[in-house]
Amino acid sequence: MFYNQNERCLMEYTSFLIQLKQALTADNGPKLLLKLFEAPYRYNSDLHPFQIQTKMEQSFLRSQENKFYKFLIQCAENIVTNSFSNLNYEHINKNFKLSYLEKDNLPGDENQILSPEEIIKASRSVKFKANITWINKEKKELYIVNAKKYDTASQTEFLDFTFKINERSKALQNNYRDYKIHYILWFVNDFYTNNNSSLSEFARSISNDNFQFSIYYGSGFFSIFEAESQWKLIENHIQTFKNENWDKLLKIPNLNRDPETLEFMVHCSESAWNKISSDDENALKIRQIIFDNEAENSNYKIAMQRRNEAAVEEV
């Protein structure tokens, strides 16, 4: 639950823990099962030195790490959303595409009527995949936040990144001509600042009266909203969580006994079931391992029986 303190909403540790547990445990079995049978060759392969179970654990832990990070981004979004309450800001789609005409590819005379071929040649389409986005249509302000874990990009990655930001800047300014656009790069971890100097120089070169590109590290991002203390509290919750040793939340589910996985197999689409029950050599090997050689009391056999019974009832 949230409570109000000095007109700010602060997340208590109990609420943090409940929400984090939910994020780390929801659909674990079904998601892992689908991963296994979407590409069984990745787990049973002579191209790596690991046993299938080890590859499963690797995949699961990577998934848990991503879930944890997404949860932190959601916490950040909640903090910022609260700071915007009653200010007529609203969320917009985080994934979108904008098109614009590249001026460098236009004829010299701006008043010239362009042919379809010239329009196609000058057209650019830019995809956006942001983490946090808001718009205020009354104040004509747009906020786009891209979150990254660390500032550790190589020189090549840095150049590629700045090229993309330059394209996005043009697309945004062409589509939101009378808006103040705030494009923010937020590095969640503030320990690494490898490209800070280069990014700051790039920010100065690309920013103007309508487009402001900014870089923030850690809790510094929340200074925009006077909410640094709220993020510091989240960071404290993270340390408390790790100190309490919740490793059991990172334990791979037993797909052969997990009730959630069983119900998923019973009710999943025919396409998904065909992959799970495939005669493919790799899929067969995985089934033997995770479903105890397809024993009669395994989730796999029980799901097959219930699906067959349901099919008979429908006839």
- What are 59's two structure tokens? 């995949």
Buried b (16+ CB within 10 A) or exposed e, 217-249: bbbebbebbebbebbebbeebeeebeeeeeeee
Phi-psi label, residue 260: left if phi above 0, alpha if psi -120 to 50, beta otherwise: alpha
Strand pairing report for 8-11 and 123-129: unpaired
pLDDT number for residue 186: 98
Q: Which residue ranges form the domains of the chain, and what is each CATH number?
A: 86-225 (3.40.1350), 254-315 (no CATH)
- Alpha-carbon gap, residue 62 to 42, rounded angstroms: 15
- Alpha-carbon gap, residue 170 to 108, rounded angstroms: 19
pLDDT number for residue 69: 96
Question: Is 185:216 a contact under the CB 8 Å cutoff?
Answer: yes
- What are 307's two structure tokens? 């699906």
| 315 residues of the chain, pLDDT tens digit each | 223 334 445 789 999 999 999 999 999 999 999 999 999 999 998 888 999 999 999 999 999 999 999 999 999 999 998 888 777 888 899 999 999 887 765 666 666 666 667 667 778 899 999 999 999 999 999 999 999 999 999 999 999 999 999 999 999 999 999 999 999 999 999 999 999 999 999 999 999 999 999 999 999 999 998 999 999 999 999 999 999 988 888 899 999 999 999 999 999 999 999 999 999 999 999 999 999 877 889 999 999 999 999 988 876
Q: Kindly report the CA angle at 219 between 201 and 84, in degrees rounded to 5?
A: 100
Q: For the beta carbon of residue 87, count every other beta carbon within 10 angstroms.
A: 12
